[in-house]
Amino acid sequence: MNAPDLLEISPDRRLAYHRTAARGDGKAAPGVVFLGGFRSDMTGTKAVWLEDWARERGRAFLRFDYRGHGASSGGFLDGAIGDWADDAAEAVTRLTEGPQILVGSSMGGWIALLLARRMPGRVAALVGIAAAPDFTEDSMWAGFDTEARAALLRDGRVELPSDYSDEPYVITRRLIEEGRNNLVLRDPLPLPFPVRLLQGTADTDVPPEVALRLLGHVDCPDARLTLVKGADHRFSGPRELAILGATLDEVTGAISQGL
């Protein structure tokens, strides 16, 4: 795999990225930006599959790593939701042109919503894959028992077991507290463009109830939720990827027709 390019934002803040240029008929369609999840990076199955999908259609595509993730600079434990949303805003502003379709996976769905609130003119549509808005508050903090909350406040961190790694998830006090500055499900959330939410019924990390809550919360004239029976949080099997591709084709058509 080719080495990523680096976007230097400051001497100690560099974002690694891969960018695919539009060509042919794809130049007339919005570009696609993939926003990854918590502790994931741009080499994951969905990100690479989307790059191939975009290249086949001549579409502009961007995948990148937030600071502290993958090949970007910084330490993971130093970051929080607002930092990673800032990274995404820099990437969209400096590495893309015109309105983009934001594809946010898990935490990336939250970050996509933050971008839509911050820079709606640069968003053509939003596709959430097991989107996890406000998860630091509604999942992590709400799920901590009294002992875990006390440890977090006392020590500044708490360790949680991970289903995806032998290493535990380390949750910092700053992640929780800073997340409260970026909640999107407490206030009105206008999204004046197509929104598509993809959600597996077997997702134990972000259950379908979260998708239903998000669907009910957004102020959007064209919002749809697709529940996929048996799909888990990864949403990266052949069936799920085919659904993702079909969703992007459909939403592109909706954009072109002004629906």
The residues carrying an active-site annotation are 106, 203, 233
Tell me the β-bridge partners of 126: 102, 195
Q: How far is residue 54's CA from residue 37's CA, in Å, rounded to a whole number?
A: 20
Burial 32-42 (b: 16+ CB within 10 A, else e): bbbbbbbbbbb
CA dihedral 18, 24, 28, 33 (to 10 degrees): -10
Burial of 259 (0-12, 13-18, 19+ CB in 10 A): exposed
Q: How far is residue 197's CA from residue 128's CA, in Å, rounded to a whole number?
A: 5
State residue 70 phi and psi, 5-degree precision: 50, -125
